[in-house]
């Protein structure tokens, strides 16, 4: 499936819009390349707020299973490091970033929203990190950011169980900042964006930078991301990704061996 990435600029607000075939957004390698180019472009744009949004059945369904199942340990390591680069570029944007999660959000999609400053969800949305169900793990910074933002216990639960939690549960555990009725979701997001715009843009940029420094104080993030990338790649040494992804595509339970 092909997912298009479009940058829409309107005054102080930029929107990065994803549109996939049949309304399903997939972060294929090509889409990630395009998304990184858009993120790098918008970083220097004359805007104050950036909204990540999508159209159709999902917000972002995750990576391409077809691509993941063809990888070996070396290509998986490269994939992980590029995904980390993309999510770090989103996290490092100087503008205030908002994830508008109108529908299901899984895997790489959740890794993307973890890299945003604010996360708003519609009532019917489901959100999670289900990578272990196909024999891998969140490898685009997800293990690091989930632990930082949610705490070790919640990150452990989400990643080990691979469950997609409801929007209300996501709000309870701090995975999203607000939940709005589905029929009013777009309108409510715009209200929050307008509210953000009433705050000083330079003050917001400075406080964002300062809070990132506080979060990283005394933490070797480079070492954490490297460990995550290597663990993601090592999954391919076990053979589990092939079985997990084959089972997913064939709509059957995976046959794991301990």
Which domains, ranges and CATH numbers included, belong to the chain? 3-183 (3.90.226.10)
Distance CA 101, CA 11 (A): 22
Q: pLDDT tens digits for 95-118?
A: 999 999 999 999 999 999 999 999
Distance CA 143, CA 164 (A): 16
| Candidate list 131, 188, 240, 243, residue with the active-site label | 131
Among the residue ranges 23-32, 149-158, 215-224, 237-246, the one predicted with the least confidence is 215-224
The token duo for 194 is: 């307008």
State yes or no: is 30 an active-site residue.
no
pLDDT band at 92 (very low <50, low <70, confident <90, very high): very high
pLDDT of residue 1: 65
pLDDT of residue 153: 97
State yes or no: is 131 an active-site residue.
yes
Q: pLDDT tens digits for 168-212?
A: 999 999 999 999 999 999 999 999 999 999 999 999 999 998 888
Instruction: Name the pTM for this structure.
Output: 0.93
89 contacts: CB under 8 Å, gap ≥ 6: 36, 39, 40, 43
pLDDT of residue 14: 98
Could you count the other beta carbons within 10 Å of the beta carbon of residue 126?
A: 19
| Candidate list 55, 111, 169, 234, residue with the active-site label | 111
Of the chain, the percentage scoring pLDDT greater than 90 comes to: 91
Name the phi and psi angles at 215, rounded to 5: -65, -30
């Amino acid at each position: 499936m092909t997912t298009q990435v479009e940058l829409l600029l309107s005054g102080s607000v930029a929107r990065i819009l994803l549109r996939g075939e049949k309304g399903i957004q997939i972060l294929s390698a090509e889409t990630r390349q395009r998304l990184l180019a858009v993120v790098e472009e918008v970083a220097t744009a004359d805007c104050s707020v950036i909204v990540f949004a999508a159209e159709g059945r999902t917000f972002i369904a995750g990576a391409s299973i077809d691509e993941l199942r063809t990888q070996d340990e070396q290509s998986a390591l490269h994939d992980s490091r590029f995904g980390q680069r993309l999510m770090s570029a989103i996290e490092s944007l100087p503008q205030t970033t908002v994830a508008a999660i109108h529908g299901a959000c899984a895997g790489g999609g959740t890794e993307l929203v973890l890299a945003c400053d604010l996360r708003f969800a519609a009532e019917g949305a489901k959100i999670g990190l289900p990578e272990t169900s196909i024999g891998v793990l969140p490898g685009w910074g997800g293990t690091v950011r989930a632990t930082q933002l949610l705490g070790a216990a919640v990150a452990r639960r989400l990643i080990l169980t691979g469950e997609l939690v409801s929007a209300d549960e996501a709000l309870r555990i701090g995975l999203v900042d607000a939940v709005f009725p589905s029929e009013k979701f777009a309108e409510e997001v715009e209200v929050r964006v307008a509210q953000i715009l009433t705050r000083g843009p330079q003050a917001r940029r400075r406080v964002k930078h300062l809070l990132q420094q506080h979060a990283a104080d005394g933490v070797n993030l480079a070492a954490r991301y490297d460990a995550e990338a290597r663990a993601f790649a090592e999954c391919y040494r076990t053979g589990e990704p092939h079985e997990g992804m084959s089972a997913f595509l064939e709509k059957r339970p995976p046959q794991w061996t301990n």
